[in-house]
Amino acid sequence: MLKGTVPIKERTDEEIAQSLKEKGLNLAVSEARRVCELLGRDPTIVELTIFNTMWSEHCSYKSSRSLLGEMLPTKAPNVVLGPGEDAGVVRFFPAGDGDWHCLVVAHESHNHPSQVLPVEGAATGIGGIVRDVYCMGADVVGVLDPLRFGDPEGEKGAQSVSIARGVVDGISQYGNALGVPNLGGDIVFDRGFDENCLVNVVAMGLVKESRILRSRVPKEAADVQYKVILIGKPTDDSGFGGAAFASEDLAGEEEMNRGAVQVPDPFLKRVLTVANRKVLELAAERGVAIGFKDLGAGGISCVTSELADAGGFGVKLDLDAVNIAEGDFPPAVIACSETQERYALAVPEDFVDDVLKIYNEDFDLPHIYHGAGAFVIADVTREKNYSIMSGGELVCEAPIDVITTGISYDRPKKSRQILFKEPEWQEGRDLREDFLKLFASPNIASKNHVFRHYDSEVQGRAVLRPGVADAGVIAPLPGEKVGLAVSVDGTPRYGIIDPYQGGALAVIEAARNVAAVGAVPSTITDCLNYGNPEIGEVFWEFFEGVRGIGDACKGIGHLSHEGHPLPVVSGNVSFYNQGESGKAIPPSPVIACFGVVEDYSKCRSISFKDEGDEVYLLGQPLDELGGSEYYRVIYDALGANVPEADFVREKAQIRTVIEMHSLGWIRACHDISQGGLLTALAEMTIGDGGSCPGITLDLDVLASSGLPAEKVLFSETGGFLVEIPAGSERDVLALCARNKVKLFRLGTLKRGAKLEVLSGGQRLAVWESDELKDAYMNGCRRIFGTAKGE
């Protein structure tokens, strides 16, 4: 006999809506009725709470699942596991004996929690993403953090600055304590994020292909009894309703929202990481097949049902066996709370005692954290049923696939009818002063004040640290020359004008950044941040963004596997990113790209190196300033002429730059993106704080564009700047001609650290390196302050 049923079947829609609201559930009335249909009866409160979580947008992808499967390429020869597991896996480097070192990557968001509690929200975002990688059997080698905040100079500037500081503190506190290096990220400030910041997190790790773990009960459970062991912190009510909270608009109920945010503990996580490794090593040594999954959204109910159903089994769960914190929590809370620092293992019964000993005795979890430990909480069953007992009574029973399958919506989409316009062009502006203002603006200025909060050197693998190159680079395998390059990108202002280009250009920019250090793009992950999918215009933006990502992955292709796409192996969709005003954030697809470089010693930073070297531009500026930083800072305008993705051109440029790196020709390389050509040249001139040579740029070499000087200098048409040793011009010209890449010689590096611009024989402006450094290095100081010890 089921305990605690909730009347649904015989109630009116109004009565059901009121009952759901009173119980704090976000299910639609139609969804509550669908639960009754599937169960054939009224549900219990535990069942209704589970469906509230499992059918949330965050867990079920009910608005996006069909589109993602249709539009995004997920297969390529290097892909081992694509979307569907806790993390994606691609082959990285041969390990010998037919085995491979594999790269494990995961990408998530923690947007709503970080808006409400910035420190805790960001910290638990990092904690959750590293668990996704750990539970695949991998050692985590780095994290990335693409962030979006409100306008620090706007009407909500004080709040935006406070949130930005809290988020950075949360990321640094958790990542540094855990001993995982931060390899980079990007930060964008825009008034469109005043009410809803974005905190996206990426983690990566390495595991041998033969040691990959799956988030499922192994097939051996058909012949041998398997148990589910819960490991970690005692369950409490922190994060209860977190998945549902992430699947609705941010509202004004501050205290209610705070309760849906989890509480992190990085020091316990570090102990758990070491203990987990011991268990995995012992299982591998004995040849024991196990399933491993972290507890995130939906807590115990989600992890047990997904582990079992993925393997083709069922589960009998006993909530009385769960270790709980002090307090009296109802069964629904114990089943669905999202308490942090927890894992679940599915192991054969004769391996249980060994597992419990490692956690509870060898690592003494109960004394490291009060109430923590490892506990057997469930039996795996051959019957594909899901049942939960509490206090000796049955509180949930359903076919397991009913719990896990979720629901799907075919959302209507409606294209936006907005006519964007270019701003009225202003002749005779002061180029020198305009550029200093642009160079000091928060979206352009150095993020060293952020990076210095993070530890990028821990683990001793860093080759190129955050901020010194277009991508972070590490040497992940001791004794090997192979390097891993990583970058994250996305420009929200592009998506406002044209969401298709916003998606496509995010892929292209991330791939360009990886290529700029000499790496071949290997795979990408995505985090798709949009507003309410129930609004036709918002869902159209999402549709167009995904279409752009898919087309870019196919258009650029996999350069190591000709004829195959650049695969998307992991990702996340974050809807309902809008606040009390009801205004959605700018369409914000964020792409992480991972690249492989054969010899990391050939990777180069953006800093100009030697006097007498030549500087070339691959590509040509076009009249594409729509969504640009120049328009934002100087004109306070959006514009209309957003850069248009040309996949043939981009692929040729990326291939050419990678080839130039492999031949050892490149001494410095920087892609052209935010701020355009002049910004890229200035960043190369000031370098990473050392003494760099300067350059005089004569715009006459780019006269064929037919554009005003400012449009040439600030267009955000993609391309690359490369520093090449003198005497290499013939080889460079031949390579670019062969690859059909436009090439322009911009000048020769010379003594005297300054940047000069000429046109028609006249000097338009000159900047000394020191004043450029002052603008660039201090632009974000007011927002983030200075790291301790400086």
Give the residue numbers marked as catalytic.
Answer: 58, 110
Distance CA 272, CA 202 (A): 20
Q: Provide the residue type at 382 as one letter.
A: R
Tell me the helices (H) and strands (E) count for the chain, helix number first.
Answer: 28, 27
Q: The dihedral of CA 527, 528, 529, 534: what is its sign?
A: negative
Which secondary-structure segment (H or E) carries 126? Answer: helix 118-134
Q: Indicate the SS3 state at residue 726.
A: coil
Q: Which of 509, 553, 549 is nearest to 530 (CA)?
A: 549
Give me 198's structure tokens. 């974005």
Could you list the beta-strand ranges (E) of 162-257.
187-189, 198-208, 226-232
DSSP label at residue 634 = I
Residue carrying the six token digits 């001993």: 179
Q: Are 592 and 525 in contact (CB under 8 A)?
A: yes
Distance CA 652, CA 18 (A): 59
Contacts (Cβ under 8 Å, ≥6 apart) of 556: 507, 508, 511, 521, 566, 647, 650, 651, 654
Which secondary-structure segment (H or E) carries 38? Answer: helix 29-39
Distance CA 391, CA 146 (A): 45
CA atoms within 13 A on the CB side of 549: 37
Q: Provide the residue type at 291 as one letter.
A: G
Give me 202's structure tokens. 């990426």
Alpha-carbon radius of gyration of the chain: 27
Distance CA 578, CA 251 (A): 9
| DSSP bridge partners of 521 | 595
Give me 626's structure tokens. 């729509």
Distance CA 113, CA 199 (A): 9
Strands 695-698 and 754-759: parallel
Q: Are 485 and 514 in contact (CB under 8 A)?
A: yes
DSSP label at residue 83 = B
- Using CB atoms within 10 A of its CB, is residue 326 exposed (0-12), middle (13-18) or buried (19+)? exposed
Contacts (Cβ under 8 Å, ≥6 apart) of 773: 686, 689
Q: Write the secondary structure of 600-612 as one string of H (helix), E (strand) and C (coil).
A: HHHCCCCCCCCCC
Q: Report residue 653 CA to chain centroid gap.
A: 25
Region for 518 from its dihedrals, namely left if φ exceeds 0, alpha if ψ lies in -120 to 50, beta otherwise: left
Could you list the beta-strand ranges (E) of 351-467.
373-381, 385-390, 393-399, 462-464
- Using CB atoms within 10 A of its CB, is residue 531 exposed (0-12), middle (13-18) or buried (19+)? buried
Distance CA 497, CA 627 (A): 7
